[in-house]
C-alpha cells in the first residue's frame, strides 16, 4: 500500500463512523418516540412493535441492518 491508499482508507473509516453516530441518534429518537406513544396510550406494545418494524422495512437496506443491530 502507498500513502494514497492509506489516506483513502482513513476517509472511508471516518465516513463510516459519522454514519454510526447518526444511527445512534436515530435509534435514540425512535426509542423516545415509541416510549411517548406507549405512555400517552396512543399505541399498545404490539402496535408500537408493528410500527417500528414497518418503519425499518422502508429504510434503505444499510440503515435497516444497522438499526436492527442497535436494537
pLDDT score, position 62? 74
Average pLDDT, the chain: 75
> How buried is residue 66: exposed, middle or buried, by Cβ count under 10 Å (0-12/13-18/19+)?
buried
Per the model's pLDDT, the better-predicted residue between 25 and 68 turns out to be 25
Give pLDDT tens digits for 29-62: 888 888 888 888 888 888 888 888 888 788 778 7
> How buried is residue 56: exposed, middle or buried, by Cβ count under 10 Å (0-12/13-18/19+)?
middle
Number of H helices, E strands in the chain: 3, 0
Amino acid at each position: 500500500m502507498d500513502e494514497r491508499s492509506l489516506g483513502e482508507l482513513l476517509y472511508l473509516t471516518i465516513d463510516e463512523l459519522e454514519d454510526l453516530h447518526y444511527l445512534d441518534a436515530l435509534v435514540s429518537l425512535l426509542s423516545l418516540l415509541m416510549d411517548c406513544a406507549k405512555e400517552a396510550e396512543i399505541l399498545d406494545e404490539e402496535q408500537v412493535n408493528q410500527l417500528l418494524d414497518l418503519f425499518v422495512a422502508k429504510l434503505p437496506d444499510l440503515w435497516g441492518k444497522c438499526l436492527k443491530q442497535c436494537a
